[in-house]
Chain A
């Protein structure tokens, strides 16, 4: 069973290895190998895709019931790729309510790099491991040979170019990060629609947190910013918590979704479908990046409802 922890709980494991550095090493390695960009492209692809037989592009990962299971499956795939590089590594989650440690630990150059704790314009990340160029003197011992920095692939830049961008924001206040009361309110949701729409579009929750980070995190290629991984890991953890609080199983996911075709309990989720070639991407340039995930496995919402029993993942 893989155990995912809050970023504030990352510590030295029994082998004496720093869990934060193990995670960073794995992320940098799959960036260097090109797998990370394939994952970025996959997220961008599902935001605008034609289902078999449909002439309309639609978002098959957001703004509907599939939001939670699609991202749960995505995280599992990402985690497996990380584990191919660093055995045993798991995704940490970003507890948004940990305001002080978000400033003092997460947004530091030896973790995810700068994000000013104040209102600031969109800026290029110029220091830390996710800068476009990381000088050799600033590279940690685990830095992959041959990697010069965190370069965003041009076609996956969302118009921002090849250097990671963010926008500063205060962690507190009306435009700040979620408070515990925001999470408590969410967890009182009585049904799946209320929970899903709440966590996705609620005050200071998923969508607004993407905007709080700003820059690339506000585009369809948001995984370009590695905070995406921790952000969605927290969302998945909250869903898992809500499920274990009396909302587990297929009774708490819609069996039919007339307003959101292709997002029902037994619908396959692209790209983990039997016939991915029948789906239409909006950009041919994305195809070679997404194809490596074709015919790898099939995931439906039904297949990912229980993290522990179906995915062998638990949350601490």
Chain B
């Protein structure tokens, strides 16, 4: 009997993943919904961002301009356990090996952060990805997000309140939150 995948839930209007040490490292975004939620456990302690990975490359049109276009059509909001929802950055990365795209996971959070990624047009992610690359001649195209670890020593050292932006958003300072 097939068992339910404990790391993903599919709802009518969203796909929801959870990320924690030991969870799968590829989160499929080639889906027929306009919202992908990722429950990131211990954001900015264990995980820094989510990065786009694909088995397609420049030859299939996955280049800087197309990724820039994709980036411009994504809205990302992080709701950390302790704070109000905050918009987070979707940024271009990459180097001579090729372009990349990363989604910030929001403020440092001891518990779970819900990262909501939506297409700004309301189209599904599959539609958006089909506009990004030409996959008519590609069999088994893969588009996924992968959790990116905090650098060694980068976690567990900051503020309880998360980023300065987080504190500013809620009108609260950092008093008592910093433990060098």
Q: Is the CB of A201 within 8 A of B177?
A: no
Beyond A174-B11, A197-B20, A211-B112, is A154–B41 a contact (Cβ under 8 Å)? no
B176–A218 touching, CB < 8 Å = no
Instruction: Annotate B20-59 by CB proximity to A: 1 below 8 A, 0 otherwise.
Output: 1111000000000000010101100110000000000000
Is B179 touching A211 in the complex (CB atoms < 8 A)? Answer: no
* In-complex Cβ contact of B114 among A157, A211, A219 (8 A): A211
- Chain B's closest residue to A56 (CB) is B153
Q: Are B18 and A203 in contact, with the CB atoms below 8 A?
A: yes
Residues of B within 8 A of A157 (CB): 175-177
Residues of B within 8 A of A218 (CB): 80-83, 109-111
Q: With A48-B179, A155-B176, A210-B111 in contact, is A121–B84 under 8 Å at CB?
A: yes
Cβ of A58 under 8 Å from chain B: yes
Is residue A275 within 8 Å, beta carbon to beta carbon, of the partner chain? no
Tell whether B98 is near chain A: CB-to-CB under 8 Å: no
What is the total number of residues of chain B having a CB less than 8 Å from a CB of chain A? Answer: 45
B156 pairs with A211, CB closer than 8 A: no
- Candidates A121, A158, A200; contact of B177 at CB < 8 Å: A158
- The stretch from A9-17, A159-167, A305-313 touching chain B is A159-167
A156: Cβ under 8 A from any B Cβ: yes
Instruction: Please give, as numbers and ranges, the residues of chain A lying within 8 Å of B156 by CB-CB distance.
Output: 48, 57-59
Residue contact A156 to B176, C-beta cutoff 8 Å: yes
Using Cβ atoms and an 8 Å threshold, which residues of chain A touch B46? Answer: 63
Q: Could you say which residues of chain B place their CB within 8 Å of the CB of A47?
A: 110
Q: Report Cα–Cα, A47/B42, bound state, in Å.
A: 12
Q: Which residue of A lies closest to B79 (CB)?
A: A211
Q: Are A158 and B176 in contact (CB under 8 A)?
A: yes
Contact between B81 and A210, CB atoms less than 8 A apart:
yes
Q: By the criterion CB–CB under 8 Å, are A159 and B39 in contact?
A: no
Residues of A within 8 A of B21 (CB): 63, 197, 259
Question: Taking the complex as formed, is B105 at the interface, i.e. its CB lies under 8 A from any CB of chain A?
Answer: no
Please classify how large the interface on chain A is, using the bins under 10, 10 to 19, 20 to 34, 35 or more: 35 or more
Q: A63-B21, A157-B176, A218-B81 are in contact. Are A203 and B16 (CB under 8 A)?
A: yes
Contact A159 to B172, CB < 8 A, known contacts A48-B179, A174-B11, A210-B112: yes
User: At the interface, yes or no: A122 with Cβ under 8 Å from chain B?
Assistant: yes
Assembly CA distance A215 to B80 (angstroms):
10
User: Does any Cβ of A come within 8 Å of B161's Cβ?
Assistant: yes
Interface flag for B14 (CB, 8 Å): yes
**A residues whose Cβ falls under 8 Å from a Cβ of B:** 47-48, 56-59, 62-63, 121-122, 154-161, 167, 174-175, 185, 193-194, 197-198, 200-203, 206-208, 210-211, 214-222, 259, 282-283
Binding site for A on B (CB under 8 A): 4, 6, 9, 11, 14, 16, 18, 20-23, 37, 39, 41-42, 45-46, 79-84, 109-114, 153, 156-157, 159-161, 167, 170, 172-177, 179-180
Leading 7 A-B pairs by shortest Cβ distance: A218-B82, A218-B81, A159-B177, A211-B81, A159-B161, A207-B112, A158-B160
Give 11 CB contacts A-B under 8 Å.
Answer: A122-B82, A157-B175, A158-B82, A174-B16, A197-B21, A197-B23, A201-B23, A202-B6, A207-B39, A208-B114, A211-B114
